[in-house]
Structure 1
Amino acid sequence: MHNIHSIEDLRNRARRRLPAMVFDFIEGGALDELTLRRNREALDAHLLTQRVLVDTSQRHATTSILGTRLDLPLVVSPMGLLTVCHPDADVAIARAAATAGSVFVHSPWSGCSLEEVTDAAPGRVWAQIAFWNDAAETRRHIDRAQVLGIDTLVVAGDVAVSSKRDRDLRHGTGMPPRPPLRDVVNTALHPGWVLRWLLGRSMTWGNYRIDGRAIRMREMEAWMERNENQTATWDDIARLRSSWTGNIVVKGVMTPEDSRLAIEHGADGVFVSNHGGRQFDSQQATIEALPGVVDAVDGRAAVIVDGGVRRGSDIAKALSLGADAAAAGRPFALGLAAAGQAGVDRAFEVLHDELLTVMGFLGVTRVDEMPCTLVDSTGLRLEAAVAAIEASQ
């Protein structure tokens, strides 16, 4: 990992190691990928303000959220089917998160069971759930989390409907996959990936069972269609609150209105997320939605935000706008694909080092000292253009 200096370096290595259809599955978004691009563009448009002659020799990135200490204010967003990246999948990322003093949010659509992940990273795992059509399925998942000592549930609020992802459709990566000939040939040109796929963990939906065995990929489409629930409401959060004594975080919150509703119905945290641009296209970037959410929450709940984080400065921007912690998914999936757990460890190291560097330039020693002033470069460019036009008249 000595020549890996950025998340982009991990991305480039992952791209070389993965078949095109797998890389696009990780990278891609919904429809025209407007939301996917906007997450990154909006982060780039927000600029931080440098301070000088401040003693920052004792700076550190330690904080806490929902009773959990973090050595880095960054948690791992839930991601499904990480087995396509590397056979160690969620287990490797969870171990790396624990080593880095972070938290891994386990996806119910994982290829690894919740039990495997909590065994690999005890005390460092949160469990994502959804309000599935089969209420007993939801209850079983919650009960498993409770037995395993998990103290935080992350409710997937934006999965009532699914969007199409054009890249996946072109590659035929549905369930079961039906890749065109060009992808079969391209996959054959990645023998390392093929060998790991043949000899490593089976690509099943390991978190679910039929007659005691993990659900095979070809069976998952029917399972998902059977359990898609478009009738879930805030009343389901209230009912969960009445039976769950741990923390509840609602993921997919993008408006002040939903932030207030989450708190009114018993949530301890809101997760500002547009699913990494993989669900609803043509919406705000999460960093654009964040200030309104923070204002509506007004300190009554924890605020987490993901979407486009690739640099330590992105974490600083999220904290400057009021988030208690940032979150990311793709950087760790790319690290996993690039080099297994070593790649994920490196992703955490890079982001931690970059954040400490940014804090030095900002003149702060703790993450709760992060300045709340950002400069919107988009606005500056617009003002400059208007000024130039006025000057020419």
Structure 2
Amino acid sequence: MRLGHLLKGNDTKRKSNRRIIVIEDDVDDEDEEDEDEEETSEEREERLEKERQDRIKNKPPLSQIFNISDFEFVAKQVLPLGTWGYYSTGSDDEFSLRENHYAFGRIFFRPKCLVDVTKASTESGEIFGATFDAPFYCTAFAGSPMAHPDAEKNLILAAGNEKIPYLVPIQCSYPLDTFMSFAKPGQENFHQVHFYTEEQLKNAPEYFKNIEDNYPNIKAFFINVDLPCLGNREKDSKIRAALDPSVNDGLSLFAAPTIKYLNLTWNDMEKLKNSTKIPIVLKGVLRKEDVLKAAELGLGGCLLSNHGGRQLDFAMPPIEILAQSRKLLRENGIKDEDFKMFIDGGIRRGSDIIKALCLGADAVGLGRPFLYAMASYGQPGVERAMQLLKEEMLRDMKLLGVNSVKELNEDMVDIESLKFKGISSSDILYNSNYTNMPPPPFTK
């Protein structure tokens, strides 16, 4: 059984399943073998690459892309297997990866009628002194060069054209000064930061001061706090293990299990906060109690995230933690405008963004969807993905009976079913793109 077959279309998947049954039944039937069973590994890789190049030549035009999941479908067909595995995988059995999205399917709207919505707008409220055309942003993601040769340049240009923020990664393909020169004049963004060594942490105040002095349009630092070690991204490892070793050389920079990050503490956060005038947001918070602690420490905000389901499996979906956290903050006298709340993970529709805003988010991050759009269509694909989300948001806001994001609140949603894990409406688009965990491949 070939690993490549598991990542292709439904016809191939049915064939693979049939062959698994043959193995389990211990049936020795030469007629069940495919003609290409005797391929050498080199011949197989050459054939699969030729098929991929054919799919690239025949991919749908951008005009035939109608939603975010369409980008994911195309990316799955045109990306190399190793790259797709790295981008799409979660940790362990991927319960958190799937639940991130399924949780949104347990939240339902409570729309108002007979409201004049002719002036409805998706414009964000003020976020660290800036406003944007929509309250969502392109989040940081390591490995962008594997999706497109221009890498993150596509993302910051698209974000500038669509006037939404980009979370500029510290692990970027370009030197920071070069990369920030791509930004449009006046374009406002955030900056994601993490540390590998004590020396980097020690030099953080100097680094922050350089940002303050030279890049005034960086409105906040998002510091990773969920990386004491890397999660077990097992599906990614299985996919890469079946590929030519040379393929893994390019992936190892981002996916090697030997990568170590510095283990940060609350004391470190207090020192970092006192070293800069730019607000600090904790990226990767997963407990409402830690959200409250961050607010009481005087930090700028929290990004509720389980790293796209790539760190601790069975970590709760961020949307559920959001519902708990904003309530706890208000109970402790912390005003919404004094502490910003962000969320990422599993967002695939404008309606998902609206649900998060209703539950107290100031902005919502998307990572994989924009990578898939870039991998399939470059910068125009990313811009179209952002436009689709804006269009969906505006339409749904009108149908909800609201004119601005400021009117979105918990009264607009029913979250009674949110706490029931493992229960979700069947999402055909999401499920059709999900890649199952492959079993170990037999050589024959």
TM over 0.5: yes
Q: Equivalent residue for 1:198?
A: none
The aligned residue for residue 45 of structure 1 is 106
Contact 1:312 1:352 in 2 (8 A): yes
Distance 1:309 1:379, change over 3 A: closer
Higher Rg of the two aligned structures: 2
Larger deviation: 14-23 or 338-347?
14-23
Q: CA deviation at 1:284?
A: 0.8
Matches within 5 A, 1:197-236: 224-225=259-260, 228-230=261-263, 232-236=264-268
Q: What residue number does 2:236 align with?
A: 168
Q: Please list, as runs of the form range in 1=range in 2, the aligned pairs for 1:230-379 lying within 5 A after superposition.
A: 230=263, 232-298=264-330, 299=336, 300-373=338-411, 374-376=413-415, 378=417
**How far did 1:376 drift?**
3.8
Deviation for aligned residue 1:94: 0.9
Instruction: Tell me whether 102-111 or 75-84 shows the greater mean CA deviation.
Output: 102-111
State the shift of 1:53 in Å: 2.1
Q: TM-score, normalised by structure 2?
A: 0.72
Question: Which amino acid in the other structure matches residue 267 of structure 1?
Answer: L
Report the equivalent of 2:197: 133
Structure 2: distance between partners of 1:58 and 1:339: 32
Q: Distance in 1 between matches of 2:299 and 2:420?
A: 39
Distance 1:5 1:294 in 2: 33
CA contact (8 A) 2:107 2:418 kept: no
Distance 1:356 1:346 in 2: 15
The aligned counterpart of 1:80 is: 142
**TM-score (normalizing by structure 1):** 0.81
The change in CA–CA distance for 1:43 and 1:380 in structure 2 (over 3 A counts) is: closer
Contact 1:256 1:295 in 2 (8 A): no
* 2:74 aligned partner: 13
Letter in 2 for 1:16: Q
Q: 1:341 to 1:218 in 2, by over 3 A?
A: closer
- C-alpha distance 319-23 of structure 1, shift in aligned 2 (>3 A): same
Relative distance call for 1:294 and 1:113 in structure 2 (3 A) is: farther
Deviation at 1:145, TM superposition (A): 2.8
The amino acid that maps onto 1:375 is D
Per-residue Cα deviation, 1:195-235 (whole angstroms, up to 9, x for no partner): xxxxxxxx79xxxxxxxxxxxx669969943xx222x2111
| 2:92 corresponds to | 31
Which stretch of the first structure deviates more once superposed, 369-378 or 75-84?
A: 369-378
Q: Is the 8 A contact 2:209 2:276 kept in 1?
A: no
Query: Could you tell me how far 1:114 is from its partner in structure 2?
Result: 2.6
1:93 is aligned, of 143, 146, 155, to: 155
Which amino acid in 1 is paired with 2:395? T
Q: Secondary structure of the residue that 1:80 maps to in structure 2? A: coil
Distance 1:102 1:114, change over 3 A: same
Contact 1:59-1:356 at 8 Å conserved across structures: yes
Bigger share in strand: 1
The range that moved more, 337-346 or 128-137, is 128-137
> Which whole-Å deviations, capped at 9, do the CAs of 1:73-119 have from their partners, x for residues lacking one?
10112111111111111111111111111111122223233323321
1:71 and 2:71 aligned: no
> Secondary structure at 1:151's aligned position in 2?
strand
Tell me the secondary structure at the aligned position of residue 69 of structure 1: coil
Counterpart of 1:110 (choices 172, 189, 192) is 172
CA distance in 1, matches of 2:147, 2:131: 29
CA distance in 2, matches of 1:222, 1:24: 15
Q: Which moved more, 1:33-42 or 1:295-304?
A: 295-304
Equivalent residue pairs, number: 346
Contact 2:169 2:191 in 1 (8 A): yes
Equivalents in 1 of 2:419, 2:369: separation in Å?
A: 30
Measured in 1, the distance between the counterparts of 2:87 and 2:376 equals 12
**Cα distance change on mapping 1:234 and 1:4 into 2, 3 Å:** same
Is residue 148 from structure 1 mapped to residue 215 from structure 2 by the alignment? yes
- After superposition, the C-alpha distances for 1:303-325 in whole angstroms (9 at most, x for unaligned) are 11111111000011001111111
Unaligned runs of 5+ in 1: 173-177, 188-202, 205-216, 383-393
Sequence identity (%):
29
Q: CA deviation at 1:133?
A: 2.2
CA distance, structure 1, for counterparts of residue 363 and residue 315 of structure 2: 22
Q: Matched residues in 1 for 2:304 and 2:257: separation?
A: 30
Equivalent residue letter for 1:234: W
Q: Which digits, 9 at most, give the CA deviation of each residue in 1:158-190, with x for residues without a partner?
A: 112111101221133xxxxx7624996xx9xxx
> Matches of 1:297 and 1:105 in 2, distance apart?
25
Q: How far did residue 357 of structure 1 move?
A: 0.6
SS at match of 1:287: helix
**Distance in 1 of aligned mates of 2:389 and 2:254:** 38
